[in-house]
Structure 1
């Protein structure tokens, strides 16, 4: 039994297809199939039922796959221990970033990070929170950047910054004359929202919930981008809420439509999240240091109230 064989078993278990598993493992399909077969012969069991399409995992195979995940993770930890002992910060590091954070945060820290840590091969993927969490659990991501708190047992959360919500209120809107907004001013029925699946959308709806503000389906436009929501607001379709960093690049005309909230301002907590096994923790720490440093100068707000992305305060 070898670590490589266990890695191949995990690939087949994930993709339910030997050809695709071989492609993702960067080996030929005959090589991968032969190694899996050798392991099955050694154990004298069938891990996979090849008679079904897609391939299914046998009952004993499920137990083997679960244990294989632990063994492969511990093998990777050995290399990680050596890297930490040598003070080496390098190698592949895959990070997922939620869509409402990636466009504003990535340009702020990426150039600084790759110059400071040139031996790190940073692989960046834009993923919604649910996918990000699943990939952290499966070992496909080393870390993620997401709105927290998530309160998930196997995940550690390290806050990076607290980003206030800002109202975008066009002319002739009922709130356009107000200099500062309060949460009591908000009516979810006249706020343009991101489409379903974005945690920022859930935070906004949570922020607006009150006995007098029920989400009625009278008129609704949902979009996947803040830019579209701003344009629709300008067309008189309603107001919207933006994360603070998304307001920095607006032109002066559009900035005149921005309205801050009275303190404490509603805000979202953005954190670096990773598996509790803490593999590649030296790279994680380096990433946190760089991001916290560059964002600290961009967000000066201190008095905030965190709005949970889980639909609860």
Structure 2
């Protein structure tokens, strides 16, 4: 039994005419007829009833058509996978990112990736770190953009860039007159951060011991997105800490939203690319890392040298 024989079988079952089926398979009618006869002999089963009016699929052969289609589809997928092994830049690349990175990287990354690898469409998604970790482990993602530290068995990471945090405030806030902001200045009731589950929140609280208890008493000062936080700050509801890529003061009237750097140098994060050690397309990882590092300066971040 051959794939060619199955193709003849499916074509004849669908066309119900030897001539049309042969034309569809790009062979002569005698060749197709001989192939069908060979398949019937191998199976020990008559697949078609032949008559002057045409051919009719035997009832006993009807379930075999769907199964033959599945076999042909799997064979196609197998060949496609083999092609991807020969050329790592062929076939979809499934890329995840944490919520605080995706919106600021993906719009620039996608067109650049398309230019660099037209046959490798990038399928994107955003999720929490824990969700990305799980999807990466299950093979549902090829790679993920995360913030370090990120440890997982049999997963490799490559630092891409360092990104500083800054404090954003309404122009009328007393901190707006300062040149830089100390961590201690965050110890106030109107500090607004992302909600639990976001690694950015965890990083800020880890760098600023004592803030957690104050935030616990102010759940109304939390948000699920950096964009919402920035709009709340612009509305005079408090201050927040954002990565440089999300500052966006230029989206408001000049001088309305103010951003200030921290006095302490450790208020930053390292963004990295993570992928399974067993991922069979290292060339795709290399290209993605190069593209992401090239975008770092557009985000006011500092690329990490390999």
Q: Please state which band the TM-score falls in when normalised by the shorter chain.
A: 0.5 to 0.7
Partner residue, 1:215: 214
Partner residue, 1:283: 284
Deviation at 1:150, TM superposition (A): 1.3
**For structure 1, which segment, 232-241 or 294-303, has the greater mean C-alpha deviation from structure 2 after superposition?**
294-303
Deviation at 1:178, TM superposition (A): 1.2
Residues 188, 208 of structure 1: 8 Å contact kept: no
What residue ranges of structure 2 are gaps of 5+ in the alignment? Answer: 1-65, 72-77
The change in CA–CA distance for 1:150 and 1:88 in structure 2 (over 3 A counts) is closer
For 2:185 and 2:294, locate their aligned partners in 1 and report how far apart those are by CA, in whole Å. Answer: 34
* 3-state secondary structure, aligned to 1:257: strand
Partner residue, 2:121: 121
For 1:254 and 1:96, locate their aligned partners in 2 and report how far apart those are by CA, in whole Å. Answer: 35
Partner residue, 2:227: 227
For 1:302 and 1:157, locate their aligned partners in 2 and report how far apart those are by CA, in whole Å. Answer: 15
In the TM superposition, 1:292-311 aligns within 5 A as 292-299=293-300
Tell me the TM-score normalized by structure 1: 0.64
* 3-state secondary structure, aligned to 2:214: coil
Tell me the TM-score normalized by structure 2: 0.66
Partner residue, 2:42: none
Deviations 1:162-212 (A, max 9, x none): 1110100224434232111122322264310112211111112222214x8
Residues 187, 213 of structure 1: 8 Å contact kept: no
Deviation at 1:294, TM superposition (A): 2.1
For 2:212 and 2:94, locate their aligned partners in 1 and report how far apart those are by CA, in whole Å. Answer: 41
For 1:277 and 1:155, locate their aligned partners in 2 and report how far apart those are by CA, in whole Å. Answer: 8
Partner residue, 1:49: none
Residues 164, 243 of structure 1: 8 Å contact kept: yes
* 3-state secondary structure, aligned to 2:289: helix
* 3-state secondary structure, aligned to 1:151: coil
Deviations 1:264-308 (A, max 9, x none): 2511111110112132211111111111112235425589xxxxx
Deviation at 1:262, TM superposition (A): 2.6
Deviation at 1:139, TM superposition (A): 0.8
Deviation at 1:91, TM superposition (A): 0.6
User: RMSD value over aligned CA atoms?
Assistant: 3.1
Residue 108 of structure 2 is aligned to residue 102 of structure 1: no
Residues 129, 146 of structure 2: 8 Å contact kept: yes
Deviation at 1:160, TM superposition (A): 1.1
For 2:277 and 2:286, locate their aligned partners in 1 and report how far apart those are by CA, in whole Å. Answer: 14
For 1:280 and 1:272, locate their aligned partners in 2 and report how far apart those are by CA, in whole Å. Answer: 14
Task: Figure out how many residues of one structure are paired with residues of the other and give that number.
Answer: 229
For 1:117 and 1:202, locate their aligned partners in 2 and report how far apart those are by CA, in whole Å. Answer: 36
Deviations 1:207-249 (A, max 9, x none): 2214x87436443321112222122223332210111011245
Residues 132, 144 of structure 1: 8 Å contact kept: yes
* 3-state secondary structure, aligned to 2:100: coil
The change in CA–CA distance for 1:254 and 1:146 in structure 2 (over 3 A counts) is farther
Deviation at 1:145, TM superposition (A): 0.6
The change in CA–CA distance for 1:243 and 1:280 in structure 2 (over 3 A counts) is same
* 3-state secondary structure, aligned to 1:278: coil
Partner residue, 1:253: 254
For 1:302 and 1:97, locate their aligned partners in 2 and report how far apart those are by CA, in whole Å. Answer: 18
Deviation at 1:155, TM superposition (A): 1.6
For 2:256 and 2:122, locate their aligned partners in 1 and report how far apart those are by CA, in whole Å. Answer: 34
Residues 162, 301 of structure 2: 8 Å contact kept: no
The change in CA–CA distance for 1:88 and 1:206 in structure 2 (over 3 A counts) is closer
What residue ranges of structure 1 are gaps of 5+ in the alignment? Answer: 1-29, 36-75, 304-313
Residues 234, 256 of structure 2: 8 Å contact kept: no
